[in-house]
Amino acid sequence: MVAAAGGACAQPLAEKAGSGPQTQAIHLMSSSESNLHTPLTANSFSAYCMYQYSGAGNRIRCLDAGINENSRVFAQLSEYAGDPQKSRFVGDARLTVHNVVPFNGGVEVWTDVEWPRPLNVRLDILVDP
């Protein structure tokens, strides 16, 4: 089974010719049941962590005491040249975020940086504790 938005479960359907597996929600919850439309709270915050790496399947951790195992965390990657606050850019490398898992004191993110040598990478997170 595959988890879908709001905790609903989905099962893979038969693959269509020329495409990957398809998923279908088994039970679609209303917004009142699943809190799908819960706004960000006043305690929401953003932060970033910097890394230098390349390759597939990298699990990186960004530590922050404001994150707990039930936080909603959204993540994105970007390259930067010198100053991570002023010199971000879209380069030739493909940067991918796959999984985002909060824990008490931080977040673990599974990423790919498709480039043959290490790059300066900034992980931005938006956290709703």
What is the value of pTM for the model shown?
0.72
8 A C-beta contact, residue 83 and residue 99: no
Given a cut of 90, whether residue 118 has pLDDT beyond it is yes
Given a cut of 70, whether residue 32 has pLDDT beyond it is no
- pLDDT digits 0-9 by tens, 66-114: 999 999 999 999 999 999 999 999 999 999 999 999 999 999 999 999 9
Domains and CATH numbers, the chain: 2-34 (no CATH), 45-128 (2.60.40)
pLDDT value at residue 39:
86
DSSP annotation of 47 reads E
User: Could you report how far apart the first and last alpha carbons of the chain are, in Å?
Assistant: 27
Flag the least confident range among 2-6, 39-43, 113-117. Answer: 2-6
Structure tokens at 55: 């390759």
